[in-house]
Structure 1
Amino acid sequence: MKRLLPLLPLLLSLHPSAFAEEREWLPYKKLMEVSRLDKFYALAPAERDKLDMYVHLVPSNQDVKPRDLVLTVVHAGGRTPLPVDADGNLRLAPNPQWLAEDAKIMTNQPKSSKVGVGPAMNAVVPAGTQWSYGALMSSIPQSNAAIGKIAGALSMFAPTIRSVILKFDQPAQVTIQAKAGPKQYATDGKHQIRLKPDAALVKENPPMVLSARPREAELDSE
Protein backbone atom coordinates (compact mmCIF):
# COMPACT_ATOMS: atom_id res chain seq x y z
CA MET A 1 0.00 0.00 0.00
CA LYS A 2 1.23 3.46 -0.87
CA ARG A 3 -0.19 6.29 1.20
CA LEU A 4 -0.74 9.23 -1.14
CA LEU A 5 -1.14 12.14 1.27
CA PRO A 6 -0.74 12.81 5.01
CA LEU A 7 -3.51 11.26 7.08
CA LEU A 8 -6.22 13.60 8.28
CA PRO A 9 -7.15 13.07 11.96
CA LEU A 10 -10.91 12.83 12.45
CA LEU A 11 -12.66 12.42 15.79
CA LEU A 12 -13.64 8.79 16.16
CA SER A 13 -13.22 6.42 19.08
CA LEU A 14 -11.84 3.00 18.28
CA HIS A 15 -11.56 1.62 21.81
CA PRO A 16 -13.08 -1.87 21.62
CA SER A 17 -14.28 -1.90 25.24
CA ALA A 18 -15.92 1.52 25.15
CA PHE A 19 -19.08 0.76 23.17
CA ALA A 20 -21.77 3.41 23.16
CA GLU A 21 -25.01 4.14 21.41
CA GLU A 22 -24.68 4.65 17.68
CA ARG A 23 -23.83 8.20 16.74
CA GLU A 24 -23.02 10.17 13.60
CA TRP A 25 -19.37 10.19 12.55
CA LEU A 26 -19.25 12.29 9.39
CA PRO A 27 -21.14 12.79 6.11
CA TYR A 28 -20.52 10.22 3.38
CA LYS A 29 -19.58 13.08 1.04
CA LYS A 30 -16.86 14.20 3.46
CA LEU A 31 -15.28 10.75 3.46
CA MET A 32 -15.21 10.79 -0.36
CA GLU A 33 -13.52 14.20 -0.35
CA VAL A 34 -10.95 13.42 2.37
CA SER A 35 -9.99 10.11 0.73
CA ARG A 36 -9.88 11.68 -2.78
CA LEU A 37 -12.00 8.80 -4.06
CA ASP A 38 -14.34 11.30 -5.68
CA LYS A 39 -11.46 12.65 -7.78
CA PHE A 40 -10.09 9.17 -8.54
CA TYR A 41 -13.39 7.87 -9.91
CA ALA A 42 -13.85 11.10 -11.87
CA LEU A 43 -10.82 10.09 -13.97
CA ALA A 44 -11.52 8.32 -17.26
CA PRO A 45 -11.45 4.50 -16.79
CA ALA A 46 -8.38 4.24 -19.04
CA GLU A 47 -6.53 6.55 -16.61
CA ARG A 48 -7.12 4.32 -13.56
CA ASP A 49 -7.67 0.75 -14.81
CA LYS A 50 -4.29 -0.44 -13.45
CA LEU A 51 -4.87 1.09 -10.00
CA ASP A 52 -6.59 -0.02 -6.80
CA MET A 53 -7.41 3.03 -4.68
CA TYR A 54 -9.06 2.87 -1.27
CA VAL A 55 -9.46 4.58 2.12
CA HIS A 56 -6.84 3.82 4.77
CA LEU A 57 -7.75 4.18 8.46
CA VAL A 58 -5.13 4.37 11.22
CA PRO A 59 -6.21 4.43 14.90
CA SER A 60 -4.27 6.89 17.05
CA ASN A 61 -4.02 4.14 19.69
CA GLN A 62 -1.75 1.45 18.25
CA ASP A 63 -3.25 -1.15 20.59
CA VAL A 64 -6.64 -0.78 18.89
CA LYS A 65 -7.43 -2.91 15.84
CA PRO A 66 -9.24 -1.34 12.85
CA ARG A 67 -11.60 -4.31 12.65
CA ASP A 68 -13.10 -3.16 15.97
CA LEU A 69 -14.56 -0.18 14.15
CA VAL A 70 -18.15 -0.45 12.89
CA LEU A 71 -19.20 2.08 10.23
CA THR A 72 -22.67 2.18 8.69
CA VAL A 73 -24.05 4.46 5.99
CA VAL A 74 -27.60 5.58 6.78
CA HIS A 75 -29.37 6.53 3.57
CA ALA A 76 -32.87 6.76 2.10
CA GLY A 77 -32.78 3.09 1.09
CA GLY A 78 -31.82 1.85 4.55
CA ARG A 79 -28.51 1.03 6.23
CA THR A 80 -25.34 -0.28 4.56
CA PRO A 81 -22.28 -1.45 6.55
CA LEU A 82 -18.86 -0.30 5.33
CA PRO A 83 -16.39 -3.22 5.50
CA VAL A 84 -13.06 -2.28 7.11
CA ASP A 85 -10.48 -5.06 6.75
CA ALA A 86 -7.86 -6.09 9.31
CA ASP A 87 -5.33 -3.68 7.78
CA GLY A 88 -7.66 -0.71 8.17
CA ASN A 89 -8.52 -0.52 4.49
CA LEU A 90 -11.95 0.40 3.18
CA ARG A 91 -12.74 -0.12 -0.50
CA LEU A 92 -15.75 1.61 -1.98
CA ALA A 93 -16.72 3.65 -5.02
CA PRO A 94 -18.71 6.89 -4.70
CA ASN A 95 -22.45 6.23 -4.59
CA PRO A 96 -24.23 9.04 -6.51
CA GLN A 97 -27.50 8.56 -4.62
CA TRP A 98 -25.83 8.75 -1.21
CA LEU A 99 -23.96 11.87 -2.28
CA ALA A 100 -27.13 13.53 -3.57
CA GLU A 101 -29.08 12.92 -0.37
CA ASP A 102 -26.16 13.80 1.92
CA ALA A 103 -26.12 10.37 3.60
CA LYS A 104 -24.43 10.08 7.01
CA ILE A 105 -21.89 7.58 8.29
CA MET A 106 -22.64 6.26 11.77
CA THR A 107 -20.41 4.51 14.30
CA ASN A 108 -21.16 2.64 17.49
CA GLN A 109 -18.06 4.07 19.17
CA PRO A 110 -17.95 7.10 21.52
CA LYS A 111 -16.29 10.33 20.50
CA SER A 112 -13.15 10.12 22.61
CA SER A 113 -10.16 9.44 20.33
CA LYS A 114 -8.99 9.91 16.77
CA VAL A 115 -8.34 7.92 13.62
CA GLY A 116 -6.24 9.02 10.67
CA VAL A 117 -8.12 8.90 7.36
CA GLY A 118 -6.41 9.18 3.99
CA PRO A 119 -6.14 7.88 0.43
CA ALA A 120 -3.94 4.88 -0.44
CA MET A 121 -3.21 3.10 -3.70
CA ASN A 122 -1.90 -0.24 -4.97
CA ALA A 123 -1.42 -1.63 -8.43
CA VAL A 124 -4.13 -4.00 -9.63
CA VAL A 125 -2.85 -7.60 -9.60
CA PRO A 126 -3.48 -8.96 -13.12
CA ALA A 127 -5.50 -12.15 -13.48
CA GLY A 128 -3.80 -15.53 -13.26
CA THR A 129 -0.06 -16.14 -13.00
CA GLN A 130 1.05 -15.32 -16.58
CA TRP A 131 1.05 -11.62 -17.42
CA SER A 132 2.53 -9.31 -19.97
CA TYR A 133 5.21 -7.03 -18.57
CA GLY A 134 3.14 -3.98 -19.37
CA ALA A 135 0.04 -5.31 -17.60
CA LEU A 136 1.84 -4.79 -14.30
CA MET A 137 4.53 -2.19 -14.90
CA SER A 138 2.29 0.30 -16.70
CA SER A 139 0.71 0.87 -13.30
CA ILE A 140 3.75 3.01 -12.38
CA PRO A 141 3.35 5.81 -14.94
CA GLN A 142 -0.42 5.58 -14.62
CA SER A 143 -0.21 6.00 -10.84
CA ASN A 144 2.05 9.04 -11.08
CA ALA A 145 -0.26 10.71 -13.59
CA ALA A 146 -3.32 9.90 -11.48
CA ILE A 147 -1.74 11.07 -8.23
CA GLY A 148 -0.92 14.43 -9.81
CA LYS A 149 -4.56 14.93 -10.75
CA ILE A 150 -5.99 13.57 -7.49
CA ALA A 151 -3.69 15.46 -5.11
CA GLY A 152 -4.21 18.85 -6.74
CA ALA A 153 -2.60 21.61 -4.66
CA LEU A 154 -1.20 18.95 -2.30
CA SER A 155 0.74 17.21 -5.09
CA MET A 156 4.03 18.56 -3.65
CA PHE A 157 3.49 16.24 -0.68
CA ALA A 158 2.55 13.22 -2.80
CA PRO A 159 5.09 10.46 -3.54
CA THR A 160 6.61 9.64 -6.92
CA ILE A 161 6.11 5.95 -7.65
CA ARG A 162 9.25 4.13 -8.84
CA SER A 163 8.61 0.41 -8.28
CA VAL A 164 6.05 -2.33 -7.65
CA ILE A 165 6.47 -4.75 -4.76
CA LEU A 166 4.80 -8.12 -5.28
CA LYS A 167 3.82 -9.62 -1.93
CA PHE A 168 3.25 -13.37 -1.63
CA ASP A 169 2.07 -15.67 1.15
CA GLN A 170 4.96 -18.09 0.54
CA PRO A 171 8.30 -18.24 -1.29
CA ALA A 172 7.78 -17.54 -4.99
CA GLN A 173 9.59 -16.80 -8.24
CA VAL A 174 8.95 -14.47 -11.15
CA THR A 175 10.43 -15.07 -14.61
CA ILE A 176 10.38 -12.36 -17.27
CA GLN A 177 10.79 -14.13 -20.59
CA ALA A 178 12.77 -11.46 -22.41
CA LYS A 179 14.15 -12.02 -25.91
CA ALA A 180 17.69 -11.48 -24.62
CA GLY A 181 17.17 -14.25 -22.08
CA PRO A 182 14.97 -14.91 -19.06
CA LYS A 183 15.24 -12.64 -16.05
CA GLN A 184 14.48 -14.47 -12.83
CA TYR A 185 13.56 -13.05 -9.44
CA ALA A 186 12.97 -14.81 -6.12
CA THR A 187 11.22 -13.56 -3.01
CA ASP A 188 13.19 -12.17 -0.10
CA GLY A 189 12.76 -13.09 3.56
CA LYS A 190 9.42 -11.27 3.65
CA HIS A 191 8.11 -13.15 0.58
CA GLN A 192 8.39 -10.01 -1.56
CA ILE A 193 9.80 -9.16 -4.98
CA ARG A 194 10.52 -5.55 -5.95
CA LEU A 195 10.39 -4.73 -9.67
CA LYS A 196 11.50 -1.45 -11.23
CA PRO A 197 10.57 -0.58 -14.80
CA ASP A 198 13.19 -1.40 -17.43
CA ALA A 199 12.94 0.81 -20.53
CA ALA A 200 13.91 -2.01 -22.90
CA LEU A 201 11.39 -4.39 -21.36
CA VAL A 202 8.68 -1.74 -21.44
CA LYS A 203 9.25 -1.47 -25.20
CA GLU A 204 9.43 -5.24 -25.71
CA ASN A 205 6.57 -6.11 -23.34
CA PRO A 206 7.57 -9.76 -22.76
CA PRO A 207 5.48 -12.31 -20.84
CA MET A 208 5.93 -12.79 -17.11
CA VAL A 209 5.45 -16.18 -15.43
CA LEU A 210 4.84 -16.41 -11.67
CA SER A 211 5.09 -19.53 -9.55
CA ALA A 212 2.21 -18.26 -7.39
CA ARG A 213 -0.27 -15.43 -7.46
CA PRO A 214 0.65 -12.49 -5.19
CA ARG A 215 -1.86 -11.23 -2.66
CA GLU A 216 -0.88 -7.60 -3.26
CA ALA A 217 1.07 -5.38 -5.66
CA GLU A 218 2.26 -2.41 -3.63
CA LEU A 219 3.29 0.79 -5.39
CA ASP A 220 6.42 2.21 -3.81
CA SER A 221 8.47 5.40 -4.06
CA GLU A 222 11.86 3.68 -3.73
Structure 2
Amino acid sequence: MKNSLRIPLLTTSLFTSLLLALPGHAAEREWLPYRKLVDVIKLDKFDALPQAERDKVILYAKLVPVNKAISPLDAGLVVVDGASRTPLPLDAGGRARMALNPQWMAHDAQIWTSLPKGEKMRMGFDLGAVLPETTQWRYASVMGAIPQTNAAIGKVAGALSLFVPTMKSVIFKFDKPAQLTIKASGGDKRYASDAKNHVRLKLDEEMLKENPLVEVSMRPLEAEIDE
Protein backbone atom coordinates (compact mmCIF):
# COMPACT_ATOMS: atom_id res chain seq x y z
CA MET A 1 0.00 0.00 0.00
CA LYS A 2 1.33 3.35 -0.92
CA ASN A 3 0.60 5.15 2.32
CA SER A 4 0.19 2.97 5.45
CA LEU A 5 -3.36 1.94 6.51
CA ARG A 6 -5.02 3.68 9.40
CA ILE A 7 -6.60 2.16 12.35
CA PRO A 8 -5.45 3.50 15.72
CA LEU A 9 -2.48 1.19 15.15
CA LEU A 10 -1.88 2.03 11.48
CA THR A 11 -1.28 4.80 8.85
CA THR A 12 -2.34 4.69 5.02
CA SER A 13 -0.63 1.61 3.24
CA LEU A 14 -1.02 -0.05 6.67
CA PHE A 15 1.48 1.97 8.67
CA THR A 16 1.15 2.87 12.36
CA SER A 17 1.71 6.30 13.74
CA LEU A 18 3.29 4.73 16.80
CA LEU A 19 6.73 6.23 17.47
CA LEU A 20 9.12 4.06 19.39
CA ALA A 21 12.10 5.68 21.06
CA LEU A 22 15.35 3.86 20.53
CA PRO A 23 17.16 3.76 23.87
CA GLY A 24 20.74 3.66 24.41
CA HIS A 25 24.29 4.13 23.50
CA ALA A 26 26.24 4.71 20.32
CA ALA A 27 26.84 0.98 19.79
CA GLU A 28 24.34 -1.77 19.13
CA ARG A 29 21.77 -2.02 21.90
CA GLU A 30 18.47 -3.58 22.84
CA TRP A 31 15.48 -1.86 21.25
CA LEU A 32 12.22 -3.80 21.31
CA PRO A 33 10.90 -7.24 22.32
CA TYR A 34 10.09 -9.40 19.31
CA ARG A 35 6.74 -10.07 20.99
CA LYS A 36 5.92 -6.33 20.83
CA LEU A 37 6.51 -6.22 17.09
CA VAL A 38 4.31 -9.29 16.66
CA ASP A 39 1.56 -7.60 18.69
CA VAL A 40 1.68 -4.30 16.80
CA ILE A 41 1.46 -5.83 13.33
CA LYS A 42 -0.94 -8.59 14.50
CA LEU A 43 1.39 -11.23 13.11
CA ASP A 44 0.17 -13.91 15.52
CA LYS A 45 -3.46 -13.35 14.53
CA PHE A 46 -2.58 -13.32 10.83
CA ASP A 47 -0.60 -16.54 11.26
CA ALA A 48 -3.56 -18.13 13.06
CA LEU A 49 -5.80 -17.72 10.00
CA PRO A 50 -6.29 -20.91 7.96
CA GLN A 51 -3.69 -21.14 5.19
CA ALA A 52 -6.42 -20.97 2.54
CA GLU A 53 -7.43 -17.53 3.89
CA ARG A 54 -3.96 -15.96 3.61
CA ASP A 55 -2.00 -17.90 1.00
CA LYS A 56 -2.19 -15.07 -1.54
CA VAL A 57 -1.07 -12.36 0.92
CA ILE A 58 2.38 -11.28 2.13
CA LEU A 59 2.66 -9.52 5.50
CA TYR A 60 5.53 -7.06 5.96
CA ALA A 61 6.67 -5.26 9.09
CA LYS A 62 7.39 -1.64 8.19
CA LEU A 63 10.01 0.10 10.31
CA VAL A 64 11.03 3.56 9.11
CA PRO A 65 13.33 6.01 10.94
CA VAL A 66 11.58 9.29 11.76
CA ASN A 67 14.78 11.08 10.78
CA LYS A 68 14.56 11.14 6.99
CA ALA A 69 18.34 11.48 6.78
CA ILE A 70 18.58 7.87 7.98
CA SER A 71 17.79 5.14 5.47
CA PRO A 72 15.90 2.06 6.66
CA LEU A 73 18.80 0.12 5.14
CA ASP A 74 20.96 1.56 7.93
CA ALA A 75 18.67 0.58 10.81
CA GLY A 76 20.88 -2.40 11.71
CA LEU A 77 18.18 -4.61 13.28
CA VAL A 78 19.05 -8.01 14.74
CA VAL A 79 16.83 -10.50 16.59
CA VAL A 80 18.75 -11.80 19.62
CA ASP A 81 17.60 -15.12 21.07
CA GLY A 82 20.12 -16.14 23.74
CA ALA A 83 23.40 -16.71 21.87
CA SER A 84 21.61 -16.77 18.50
CA ARG A 85 21.59 -13.61 16.36
CA THR A 86 19.40 -13.28 13.24
CA PRO A 87 19.56 -10.12 11.10
CA LEU A 88 16.22 -8.47 10.34
CA PRO A 89 17.14 -6.65 7.13
CA LEU A 90 14.85 -3.93 5.81
CA ASP A 91 14.43 -2.91 2.19
CA ALA A 92 14.65 0.72 1.05
CA GLY A 93 11.00 1.20 2.04
CA GLY A 94 11.64 -0.05 5.57
CA ARG A 95 9.91 -3.40 5.09
CA ALA A 96 10.76 -6.90 6.25
CA ARG A 97 8.72 -9.92 5.17
CA MET A 98 7.41 -11.55 8.34
CA ALA A 99 6.60 -15.09 9.43
CA LEU A 100 5.81 -15.92 13.04
CA ASN A 101 8.73 -17.53 14.90
CA PRO A 102 7.30 -19.51 17.88
CA GLN A 103 10.77 -20.03 19.36
CA TRP A 104 11.43 -16.30 19.53
CA MET A 105 8.05 -15.83 21.17
CA ALA A 106 8.72 -18.57 23.74
CA HIS A 107 12.23 -17.33 24.51
CA ASP A 108 11.20 -13.65 24.72
CA ALA A 109 13.74 -12.73 22.02
CA GLN A 110 14.75 -9.09 21.74
CA ILE A 111 15.34 -6.88 18.70
CA TRP A 112 18.57 -4.90 18.87
CA THR A 113 19.49 -1.84 16.79
CA SER A 114 22.59 0.13 15.90
CA LEU A 115 20.75 3.40 15.19
CA PRO A 116 22.11 6.51 16.95
CA LYS A 117 20.98 7.39 20.45
CA GLY A 118 17.62 9.14 20.64
CA GLU A 119 16.48 8.28 17.11
CA LYS A 120 12.91 7.05 16.68
CA MET A 121 11.14 4.75 14.25
CA ARG A 122 7.59 4.51 12.97
CA MET A 123 6.33 0.96 13.13
CA GLY A 124 3.51 -0.61 11.16
CA PHE A 125 2.81 -3.09 8.41
CA ASP A 126 2.27 -3.37 4.67
CA LEU A 127 0.58 -6.06 2.63
CA GLY A 128 1.55 -7.49 -0.74
CA ALA A 129 0.21 -10.11 -3.14
CA VAL A 130 2.10 -13.34 -3.74
CA LEU A 131 3.44 -13.44 -7.31
CA PRO A 132 3.97 -16.60 -9.36
CA GLU A 133 7.53 -17.20 -10.53
CA THR A 134 6.43 -17.02 -14.18
CA THR A 135 5.28 -14.19 -16.46
CA GLN A 136 1.84 -15.79 -16.88
CA TRP A 137 -0.82 -16.59 -14.30
CA ARG A 138 -4.55 -16.77 -13.84
CA TYR A 139 -6.24 -13.53 -12.78
CA ALA A 140 -7.60 -14.88 -9.48
CA SER A 141 -4.26 -16.28 -8.34
CA VAL A 142 -2.96 -12.72 -7.75
CA MET A 143 -6.03 -10.45 -7.72
CA GLY A 144 -7.68 -12.88 -5.31
CA ALA A 145 -5.31 -11.40 -2.73
CA ILE A 146 -7.62 -8.39 -2.46
CA PRO A 147 -10.71 -10.18 -1.07
CA GLN A 148 -8.38 -12.29 1.08
CA THR A 149 -6.81 -9.12 2.49
CA ASN A 150 -10.13 -7.42 3.25
CA ALA A 151 -11.47 -10.55 4.95
CA ALA A 152 -8.24 -10.99 6.93
CA ILE A 153 -8.28 -7.38 8.13
CA GLY A 154 -11.80 -7.88 9.39
CA LYS A 155 -10.80 -10.95 11.39
CA VAL A 156 -7.39 -9.74 12.59
CA ALA A 157 -8.26 -6.13 13.44
CA GLY A 158 -11.79 -6.79 14.73
CA ALA A 159 -13.72 -3.60 15.50
CA LEU A 160 -10.69 -1.52 14.52
CA SER A 161 -11.14 -2.70 10.93
CA LEU A 162 -13.82 0.02 10.64
CA PHE A 163 -10.94 2.51 10.47
CA VAL A 164 -9.14 0.64 7.69
CA PRO A 165 -9.84 1.50 4.03
CA THR A 166 -11.09 -1.29 1.80
CA MET A 167 -8.36 -2.60 -0.48
CA LYS A 168 -9.30 -2.40 -4.16
CA SER A 169 -6.10 -2.56 -6.23
CA VAL A 170 -2.83 -4.34 -6.84
CA ILE A 171 0.13 -2.26 -7.98
CA PHE A 172 2.57 -4.27 -10.08
CA LYS A 173 6.05 -2.77 -9.78
CA PHE A 174 8.65 -3.32 -12.50
CA ASP A 175 12.26 -2.21 -12.75
CA LYS A 176 11.73 -0.79 -16.27
CA PRO A 177 8.82 -0.05 -18.64
CA ALA A 178 6.52 -3.06 -18.97
CA GLN A 179 3.14 -4.18 -20.22
CA LEU A 180 0.42 -6.28 -18.62
CA THR A 181 -2.25 -8.02 -20.72
CA ILE A 182 -5.44 -9.71 -19.53
CA LYS A 183 -6.59 -12.32 -22.06
CA ALA A 184 -10.29 -11.81 -21.35
CA SER A 185 -13.06 -13.56 -23.27
CA GLY A 186 -14.29 -10.19 -24.56
CA GLY A 187 -10.87 -9.29 -25.92
CA ASP A 188 -7.42 -8.50 -24.63
CA LYS A 189 -7.09 -5.71 -22.07
CA ARG A 190 -3.64 -4.09 -22.23
CA TYR A 191 -2.01 -1.88 -19.61
CA ALA A 192 1.30 -0.03 -19.96
CA SER A 193 3.40 0.94 -16.97
CA ASP A 194 3.45 4.56 -15.82
CA ALA A 195 6.41 6.88 -15.23
CA LYS A 196 7.31 4.88 -12.09
CA ASN A 197 7.19 1.57 -14.02
CA HIS A 198 4.01 0.64 -12.14
CA VAL A 199 0.75 -0.88 -13.38
CA ARG A 200 -2.23 -0.38 -11.09
CA LEU A 201 -4.93 -2.99 -11.59
CA LYS A 202 -8.28 -2.51 -9.85
CA LEU A 203 -10.16 -5.62 -8.85
CA ASP A 204 -12.89 -6.57 -11.34
CA GLU A 205 -15.38 -8.98 -9.78
CA GLU A 206 -16.54 -10.31 -13.16
CA MET A 207 -12.95 -10.89 -14.17
CA LEU A 208 -12.36 -12.68 -10.88
CA LYS A 209 -15.16 -15.11 -11.82
CA GLU A 210 -13.93 -15.54 -15.39
CA ASN A 211 -10.33 -15.98 -14.18
CA PRO A 212 -8.59 -15.28 -17.51
CA LEU A 213 -4.88 -15.62 -18.25
CA VAL A 214 -2.68 -12.63 -17.36
CA GLU A 215 0.60 -12.04 -19.20
CA VAL A 216 3.36 -9.57 -18.34
CA SER A 217 6.30 -8.58 -20.51
CA MET A 218 8.60 -9.24 -17.54
CA ARG A 219 8.10 -10.54 -14.02
CA PRO A 220 7.25 -7.69 -11.59
CA LEU A 221 9.57 -6.94 -8.71
CA GLU A 222 6.56 -7.07 -6.38
CA ALA A 223 2.81 -6.62 -6.20
CA GLU A 224 1.56 -4.14 -3.59
CA ILE A 225 -2.00 -4.28 -2.26
CA ASP A 226 -3.53 -0.80 -2.15
CA GLU A 227 -6.77 1.14 -1.81
1:156 to partner: Cα distance:
2.1
Question: Alignment length, in residue pairs?
Answer: 217
Conservation of the 8 A alpha-carbon contact between 2:30 and 2:110: yes
C-alpha distance 153-42 of structure 1, shift in aligned 2 (>3 A): same
Is the counterpart of residue 56 in structure 1 residue 66 in structure 2?
no
RMSD of the TM alignment (CA)? Answer: 1.8
1:65 to partner: Cα distance:
0.7
Conservation of the 8 A alpha-carbon contact between 2:171 and 2:201: yes
Is the counterpart of residue 166 in structure 1 residue 172 in structure 2?
yes
Is the counterpart of residue 216 in structure 1 residue 226 in structure 2?
no
C-alpha distance 183-110 of structure 1, shift in aligned 2 (>3 A): closer
Conservation of the 8 A alpha-carbon contact between 1:134 and 1:205: yes
Separation in structure 1 between the aligned mates of residue 127 and residue 33 of structure 2, nearest angstrom: 23
1:19 to partner: Cα distance:
7.0
2:107 paired residue number:
101
1:207 to partner: Cα distance:
0.6
Deviates more, 1:206-215 or 1:21-30: 21-30
Secondary structure (helix, strand or coil) at the match of 1:61 reads coil
2:21 paired residue number:
11
Conservation of the 8 A alpha-carbon contact between 1:37 and 1:119: no
C-alpha distance 189-98 of structure 1, shift in aligned 2 (>3 A): same
1:112 to partner: Cα distance:
0.6
Task: Extract structure 1 runs of 4+ deviating beyond 3 A.
Answer: none
Separation in structure 2 between the aligned mates of residue 201 and residue 80 of structure 1, nearest angstrom: 42
1:183 paired residue number:
189
C-alpha distance 200-22 of structure 1, shift in aligned 2 (>3 A): closer
Deviates more, 1:70-79 or 1:120-129: 70-79
Conservation of the 8 A alpha-carbon contact between 1:37 and 1:54: no
Secondary structure (helix, strand or coil) at the match of 2:199 reads strand
Identity %: 55
Is the counterpart of residue 67 in structure 1 residue 95 in structure 2?
no
Pairing 1:39-50 to 2, within 5 Å after superposition:
39-50=45-56
Separation in structure 2 between the aligned mates of residue 108 and residue 201 of structure 1, nearest angstrom: 48
Consecutive unaligned residues in structure 1, runs of 5 or more: none
Match of 1:201 among 194, 197, 207: 207
2:119 paired residue number:
113
Consecutive unaligned residues in structure 2, runs of 5 or more: none
